[in-house]
């Protein structure tokens, strides 16, 4: 089952190690095994969570002539960076290494990077409208993404009962197992309530001190927990853009979830979350493959003029994007910031719009048209 980044990861593997991060059950293991099947016949898969595989990893027991060794969840080994450096520097000729993990492979933490120059880093994302199984139309995919999210299993099954079971089991594993492996948190139940509070606030600004007060935890704890769930690829914060805005003020972040099915808000909130995850996926691809520096923000000033998303590539504004469920009237804030910031593109995405049009150089379009025919990305159409 080929994913959008497989051919690019293959190109990198024949030069260096590759690390793949991404949410649990997004398809990293499937991608690794597909690379073995398609490009590295005879490759070996070793999972740190498996007792037998863990012993093999520690004893370095694998065939010297295997073209690819996949180490899954290796970051759970406390000394994994030093260990993989030693393995890589003494590897047999023509043997490559792929390291995957469901938490961020925090390479740059605390000082210099001993692995510098030895690896490329990729982030794998769920399905989006521009990456679909060939038998699913964009219109059908849009409905599934809003309801089930883009993770392969619930997206393909398209069964609400099974999706709920899958989502509950995934949450339990992340909060009760993955978090335990990485952080010392005494009250997992309160952390779960913290995540639920964020799920209810998608599309709105998050005041962590208010959530902390409700849950009777400190604001410092709330801030560290937000960092933790970002590290676990549960959700990601989007911070305000303030450069070149005279009346800007520091505002709290918004938080969006990698799994659109995690959103507890209405259809408008789920649509905005879908746009956020798709934009982040594209920006991560541009960073991971092209090497540009990218970021995703929102804008709001003291006069309460707000636009949902602004994309930045190499410190230049690429897109201003406002998201509406049904309102086709162009946002006055979008017009204001378009004239002030001069982005390459200004877009209002309307969930229920049937026909796209331009008005004063602003594109008004629906999510399907915008994401199936992206103006600034590689159009991806994968046949499974």
pLDDT tens per residue, range 21-68 = 999 999 999 999 999 999 999 999 999 999 999 999 999 999 999 999
Are the beta carbons of 232 and 178 closer than 8 angstroms? Answer: yes
Specify the pLDDT at position 187.
Answer: 81
Q: What whole-number percentage of the chain has pLDDT above 70?
A: 91
* pLDDT given for residue 179 in this prediction: 79
Q: pTM for the full model?
A: 0.92
Pick from 122, 142, 123, 124: nearest CA to 132: 142
Which pLDDT does position 185 carry in this prediction? 74
Q: What is the pLDDT of residue 178?
A: 78
Alpha helices in 121-207 (DSSP H): 138-148, 152-157, 160-173, 179-182, 188-199
Report d(CA 21, CA 24) in Å as an integer: 9
At residue 106, the pLDDT reads 63
> Which tokens hold the place of 281?
């996926």
Q: What are the tokens at 133?
A: 């199984």
Torsion over CA: 319, 322, 328, 330 (sign): negative
- Residues (pLDDT < 70) of the chain are 1, 106-113, 181-184, 244-250, 373-384
All domains in the chain, ordered by first residue? 6-123 (3.40.50.300), 138-372 (no CATH)
60: left (phi over 0), alpha (psi -120 to 50) or beta: left
The pLDDT score that the predictor gives to residue 110 is 45
pLDDT at 250: 63
User: What is d(CA 262, CA 17) in angstroms, rounded to the nearest whole number?
Assistant: 33
């Amino acid at each position: 089952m080929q994913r959008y980044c497989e051919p690019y990861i293959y190109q990198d593997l024949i030069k260096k190690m590759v690390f793949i991060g991404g949410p649990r059950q997004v398809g990293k293991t499937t991608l690794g095994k597909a690379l073995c099947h398609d490009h590295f016949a005879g490759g070996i898969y070793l999972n740190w969570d498996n007792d037998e595989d863990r012993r093999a990893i520690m004893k370095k027991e694998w065939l010297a002539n295997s073209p690819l060794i996949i180490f899954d969840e290796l970051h759970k080994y406390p000394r994994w960076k030093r260990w993989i450096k030693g393995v890589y520097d003494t590897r047999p000729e023509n043997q490559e290494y792929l390291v995957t993990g469901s938490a961020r492979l925090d390479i740059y933490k605390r000082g210099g990077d001993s692995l510098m120059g030895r690896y490329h880093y990729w982030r794998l994302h769920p399905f989006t409208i521009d990456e679909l199984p060939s038998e699913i139309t964009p219109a059908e995919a849009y409905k599934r993404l809003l309801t089930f999210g883009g993770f392969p299993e619930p997206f393909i099954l398209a069964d609400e009962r099974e999706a709920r079971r899958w989502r509950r089991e995934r949450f339990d594993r992340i909060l009760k197992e993955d978090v335990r492996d990485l952080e010392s948190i005494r009250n997992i139940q309160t952390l779960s309530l913290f995540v639920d509070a964020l799920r209810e606030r998608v599309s709105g600004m998050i005041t962590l001190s208010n959530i902390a007060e409700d849950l009777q935890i400190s604001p410092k704890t709330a801030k560290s927990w937000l960092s933790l769930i970002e590290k676990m690829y549960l959700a990601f914060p989007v911070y305000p853009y303030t450069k070149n805005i005279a009346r800007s003020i520091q505002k709290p972040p918004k938080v969006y979830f990698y799994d659109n099915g995690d959103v507890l808000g209405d259809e408008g909130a789920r649509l905005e979350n879908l746009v956020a995850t798709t934009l982040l996926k594209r920006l991560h691809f541009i960073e991971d493959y092209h090497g540009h520096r990218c970021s995703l923000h929102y804008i709001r000033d003291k006069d309460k003029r707000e636009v949902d998303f602004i994309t930045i590539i190499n410190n230049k504004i690429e897109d201003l994007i406002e998201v509406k469920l049904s309102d086709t009237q162009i946002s006055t804030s979008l017009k204001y910031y378009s004239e002030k910031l001069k982005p390459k593109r200004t877009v209002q995405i309307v969930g229920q719009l049937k026909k796209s049009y331009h008005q004063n150089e602003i594109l008004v379009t629906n999510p399907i048209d915008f994401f199936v025919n992206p103006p600034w990305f590689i159009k991806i159409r994968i046949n499974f």
